[in-house]
């Protein structure tokens, strides 16, 4: 089990290291004391589990901010001196919530829960599959199966053939970097489509248009500027 420890207190990291040494299947692959270093460690090391402090002094954010926008989120066990964040922790699907000083028995329980999660985790997606992770389930889709994407705040609504619309905690920009272009085309700040699935363009009014896309039951409403951008891209083909 590959583990990263994130805590701004050196003594707290040291104490947790000593407790984890009693568990031979645990390998501590990295540590971090700030938000930026923690994000870099998670993206580079891809641990199975992160022990995450919540209040990270001098980082310009907290442990919850670290989890926002991670393309691949590890299992999370919060380790903190503050009990009042417990509800928020489980809202982001933390596996456990440990109070400092960490009780060795509670730590052992958290590791048991983590092993269970790892044992039941779905296999890693193939290289050509897109992982669409939601709180209660994960959908794997090929790029060809993705019809369109619409930004909604910190989320992106993803339309996949044969699925209801999926709300994914990932920015449209992150999807744009992952999906191939062509056939994917961004039509402004909030919409991206799979151009291979385009079947029709309609100017619905002076300010809006509608796109008929194979795989969507209803036309997708877009701005007139998006329609103009699409026509321009088609003319360049």
Q: Any idea which fold 129-236 has? A: OB fold (Dihydrolipoamide Acetyltransferase, E2P) (2.40.50)
Q: How confident is the model at residue 69 (pLDDT cuts 50, 70, 90)?
A: low
Cα 55 to Cα 41: distance, rounded to the nearest angstrom:
18
> What pLDDT, in 10s, does the model give residues 23-50?
999 999 999 999 889 989 998 898 999 9
**Predicted confidence (pLDDT) at residue 13 exceeds the cutoff of 70:** yes
- Min mean pLDDT across 3-17, 32-46, 51-65, 122-136 is at 122-136
Pairing mode, strands 49-52 and 75-80: parallel
CB-based burial, 131-150: b 16+ in 10 Å, e otherwise: bbbeeeeebbbeeebbbbbb
- Min mean pLDDT across 9-18, 95-104, 113-122, 157-166 is at 113-122
- Percent of the chain residues past pLDDT 90, beyond the cut: 57
User: What is the average per-residue pLDDT within 132-161?
Assistant: 92
CA dihedral 152, 117, 15, 6 (to 10 degrees): -20
**Predicted confidence (pLDDT) at residue 20 exceeds the cutoff of 70:** yes
Q: Where in the chain is the domain with CATH 3.40.50.2300?
A: 2-120
pLDDT in the model for residue 199: 92
> What pLDDT, in 10s, does the model give residues 86-127?
888 888 889 999 999 999 999 999 999 999 998 887 665 555
Of 237 and 150, more confident: 150
179 forms bridges with which residues in the sheet?
none
pTM over 0.75: no
pLDDT in the model for residue 10: 95
Q: What is the CATH architecture assignment of 2-120? A: 3-Layer(aba) Sandwich (3.40)
pLDDT in the model for residue 109: 97
User: What is the average per-residue pLDDT within 160-178?
Assistant: 92
pLDDT in the model for residue 61: 75
User: What is the average per-residue pLDDT within 72-80?
Assistant: 92
Could you tell me the two tokens for 197?
Answer: 């699935």
- Min mean pLDDT across 55-64, 75-84, 209-218 is at 55-64
Q: Where in the chain is the domain with CATH 2.40.50.40?
A: 129-236
């Amino acid at each position: 089990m590959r583990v990263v420890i994130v805590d701004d207190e050196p003594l707290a990291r040291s104490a947790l290291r000593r407790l984890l040494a009693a568990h031979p299947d645990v390998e501590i692959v990295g540590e971090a004391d700030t938000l930026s270093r923690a994000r870099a460690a998670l993206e580079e090391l891809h641990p199975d589990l992160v022990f995450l402090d919540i209040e990270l002094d001098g980082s310009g954010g907290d442990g919850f901010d670290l989890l926002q926008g991670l393309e691949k989120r590890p299992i999370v066990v919060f380790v903190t001196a503050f009990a009042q964040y417990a509800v928020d922790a489980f809202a982001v699907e933390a596996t456990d919530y440990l109070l400092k000083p960490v009780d060795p028995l509670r730590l052992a329980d958290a590791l048991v829960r983590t092993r269970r999660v790892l044992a039941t985790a779905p296999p890693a997606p193939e290289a050509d599959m897109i992982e669409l992770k939601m709180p209660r389930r994960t959908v794997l889709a090929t790029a060809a199966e993705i019809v369109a994407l619409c930004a909604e705040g910190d989320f992106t609504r993803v339309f996949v053939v044969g699925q209801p619309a999926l709300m994914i905690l990932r920015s449209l920009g992150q999807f744009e970097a992952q999906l191939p272009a062509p056939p994917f085309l961004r039509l402004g700040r909030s919409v991206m489509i799979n151009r291979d699935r385009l079947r029709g363009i309609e100017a619905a009014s002076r300010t809006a248009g509608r796109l008929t896309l194979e795989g969507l039951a209803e036309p997708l409403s877009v701005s007139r500027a998006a329609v103009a951008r699409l026509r321009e891209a088609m003319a360049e083909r």
